[in-house]
Amino acid sequence: MTEKTANDNAAATIGNKNPPLASRFKPGQSGNPAGRPKGSGLLREALLKAALEERTNKEWQGKTQKGSALQVLLHDCFHRAINGDSKATNQVLSLAMRLLDDSE
């Protein structure tokens, strides 16, 4: 009978979900060092900013008002809160608290 060596044991463990030891990631090494760089999520922010700055017309109390999409959304949310909508009230208060925390 032949003796098993360390190479024989390593070869036996190569297979599905068991890559060779030489090609495994070293401890602390990234899985994709050439992957997406930090800060490349700026496209999403730019698209959101463009959508919120888009100029729109809003019919309110028989008058047409012009403003950005963000202004229209905030206007609607404030008026729903004033008229007793509890979800809108929570959103307005949450936004106000965040703005107050940021200003300090």
- What amino acid occupies position 83? N
Count other C-beta atoms under 10 Å from residue 103's C-beta. Answer: 6
CB 57 within 8 A of CB 44: no
Integer CA distances (angstroms), 81 to 63, 69, 73, 86, in order: 21, 18, 12, 7
**Calpha distance 85→97 (Å, rounded):** 18
pLDDT under 70: residue ranges of the chain: 1-12, 39-40, 103-104
Q: What confidence score (pLDDT) does residue 104 get? A: 65
Global confidence as pTM: 0.51
State phi, psi for 15 to the nearest 5 degrees.
165, -150
Q: Are strands 63-68 and 55-60 parallel, antiparallel or unpaired?
A: antiparallel
Q: Which residues contact 79 (CB under 8 A, 6 or more apart)?
A: none
